[in-house]
Structure 1
């Protein structure tokens, strides 16, 4: 059974890149454009990991993670941000956030982090 990853970013290029990379790595990948769309997907499908931009329209990445915690949906998350240092401090209080990735990121590093969380 393939592990299922949800990629959430409002930039189509990043969604496409991560979708392609993780599909090639043997994962099942779904994508979402906003935090609200991410939650809608999570309520209808089972995911093993969420890779999400911090800055999203409607609802930011940290708000989505906190909503998952409130609903007791224990899906590990990786948050991406151009301001990773600032976000890392905020994310410390969220047990579901397993890693904060600085943008731009190194694809091999992202793959290693995902593998370490899922296996």
Structure 2
């Protein structure tokens, strides 16, 4: 079973993504801050992380940078309301497979997650 870490400081988004992805048969864990996310990544294995760019304590860019420095390879989808502003920063990260703008279409989101996880098999 594929494991996904959903990282977002908004409880409603974490719940929505957990519902969507659980219904696809994935095992989901969540984190509200970048620090909490790193703790979970260090103690678990994930096939994909879904990362809000603007999260407290350690933001999305810093989290991705930390994972690359530590050679922790995990595919990532970055979600943000500021897609134009962050594209250059996150596209430098090899782990970022997609950047999705908020608000997003749930059906499209589901398809993109499934496609990325199929690529990693």
Q: Structure 1 length normalisation: TM-score? A: 0.97
Deviation at 1:88, TM superposition (A): 1.4
1: CA distance, partners of 2:26 / 2:107: 15
- How do 1:43-82 and structure 2 match up within 5 A? 43-82=42-81
Alignment correspondent of 1:22: 21
Give distance in 2, aligned partners of 1:69 and 1:8: 17
Shift of 1:87: 1.2
**Unpaired runs of at least 5, structure 1:** none
**Residues matched between the structures, number:** 118
- Distance, in Å, in 2 between the alignment partners of 1:92 and 1:31 is 23
1:62-118 deviation line (CA, Å, top 9, x unaligned): 111111111101101111110111211221211111111100111111111111111
Task: Give the TM-score taking structure 2 as reference length.
Answer: 0.95
* Structure 1 vs Structure 2 CA RMSD: 0.7
Give structure 2 stretches of 5+ with no counterpart: none
